[in-house]
Every structure is written in C-alpha cells, then in structure tokens.
Structure 1
Amino acid sequence: MTEIREMQLDDLEQVMEIENENFSRPWTETGFFTFLIRQDTLFLVAEEDEEILGYCGVVMVQDEGDITNVSVKKDRQNHGIGKLLVQELIRKTEEMGVSRLFLEVRESNERAIHVYEKAGFVKNGLRKNYYEDPVEHAVLMMHETTGKER
C-alpha cells in the first residue's frame, strides 16, 4: 500500500535517484536540503515498503503556493502515484490556508498535464522557451480552492 507522507532528510538519497532519472536539469541534494528546512515549504513523498516512489513540493507565500516539482520513478509511472501526490498536496495546502496553487509543466508532457487537469488545475498561460535541454515552452497552470469539500 502506498503511503503519502512529509519528506524527511533521510529520504534525500532515494529522492535524488528519481530526480536524476527524470530531469535533464535536476535539482541538487543541497537544493532539496535548503527547501526542506524552510518553514514556507511542504514536500511529500509516496512510499511503499520503505521505497520512495515519487515526491512533490510546494513553496507557499501567504495564501498562494508554487509547486516546485512532481516526479515519480520511471518504472512506477502510470500507476496513479503522481495523482495521489498532487491530491494530497492540494489537501494539505488547503488545510494550511492556501487558496491558489500554480505550476509550470513542459508543453510536451501531456501525461502530467492530464494528471493536473484531473486534479482541478486549469491552463492559464504559456512561458515561451522556459525549459532548457531541450528548449521548450512551459504551460502555466493554476488550481483555485472552491471552498467545497472534496
């Protein structure tokens, strides 16, 4: 059974493996550490039998949050783990008073865009040539709390 919980410093070794396998410009371990010790962030991991399957994070300013990353191990993609992570991130940030979440995603990452749309995100812009390796536009998306129970 997959458990979604807050990321701990002890998780970084496994998180870095996922980060490095999925991104051409991965964050560093120091980068993750810097965000994990801040009070204005929330990072979650999906774990099964002590194995980290994926993670996500958000930086919050007042009632808004910017999702920094969502990533799932390549061999566990398309199993609903990203969906679970995003849903729990939405739930936890709403509890913390966040009413709007923002993110950007590669224009070609149709699977991720679909996951975000199913979670209630809507496209609200395009950031041209945002990504490198390869150069690609970023689709901007936003999730707004409706105030209704889910």
Structure 2
Amino acid sequence: MYRICPMTDSDKEIIVAWHYPAPYQIYDLTEDDFDSEHKFYSVYDDEQLAGMLKLHFNERTCLLGLGLRPDLTGHGLGQHFVEAAVQFIKEQGYQSIQLAVISSNERAIKVYERSGFVEKDYELMLAGDVLEEFLIMAYCEED
C-alpha cells in the first residue's frame, strides 16, 4: 500500500537524480519542473520513495502528473500506483481527474486505460525543448 505525503526538499533532490531509460528520458525532471502552480507529493512504498505526484487543482478538475521511480517501471506496478493516485485525489474532494501523456508512450496509456482513464483529446505541448503530441485522458469511474 502506498503512502502519499507532501514532498520534502530532500525527496525533490532524490527525484531530480532519477533518470529514465530511452525513450522515456523525456520524463526526467529538473529543479525547474517544481513550480508553485502545482502541489507535489511523494509516494512511499513502505519506507522507500517509489514515486511522485504533481497535482494542479482548479474549480472542478484535478490535473494529474505522476512518475514512478525509474527502476520500478515495466514491472507491473503502474496500475496500482495510478489507482493509489486516483484514490488520493478523490479523498481531496475531486471526482474529475485528467492527465496528459505523450501519445507515443503506449505502455503508460495501457496502464491509464486499465486504471479507468479514457481518451479525451490530443494537444501539442512542449516536452523539454521538443514539441510533442500528448493524449489528454480523463478518469471515468465505472458504474
């Protein structure tokens, strides 16, 4: 079970040192990625930092950004991680959740779909210095 708490400066330093293998290196974070428009949370599995959440709350919707520690990716842990993030956001009082994922990241898209997200739209956004196509996905709770 994951424990989610406000991110500390020491966690931020650890996360900035994470490096994802190609082609996922686009998800590497720098100190500049931690801005004041978003709320950042550390995600722990037992006592180990396992991931992070980047949340932006507006009136009705939470925009979700998330990252699993690089050495944990590709091992079938993603769905449980995403579901923990969704549960945390719901506990904050938000039912409407959206995220953006680079449209070529088929592995992540499958995890998001299994976790209850559906395709909503496409949008061009900067990813580092490169303009990329992102898939906008919305959480759709099953009835």
TM-score by length of 2: 0.77
* Count of matched residue positions in the alignment of Structure 1 and Structure 2: 139
The gaps in structure 1 that reach 5 residues or longer are: none
Equivalent residue, structure 2, for 1:47: 45
Residues 28, 133 of structure 1: alpha-carbon distance in 2 compared, 3 angstrom cutoff = closer
CA offset at residue 3 of structure 1?
3.4
Q: What's the Cα RMSD here? A: 2.8
Distance 2:124 2:31 in 1: 28
Distance 2:93 2:6 in 1: 20
Distance 1:12 1:42 in 2: 9
CA offset at residue 87 of structure 1?
0.9
Q: Percent identity?
A: 23
**What amino acid sits opposite 1:101 in the alignment?**
I
Correspondence 1:65 to 2:67: no
Equivalent residue, structure 1, for 2:15: 15
CA offset at residue 119 of structure 1?
0.8
Matches for 1:113-132 after TM superposition, within 5 Å: 113-128=109-124, 130-131=126-127
CA offset at residue 91 of structure 1?
0.9
SS of equivalent residue, structure 1 residue 24: helix
Residue-by-residue CA offset, 1:65-101 (whole Å, 9 max, x unaligned):
011x222233221224332331112112112221211
**What amino acid sits opposite 1:54 in the alignment?**
G
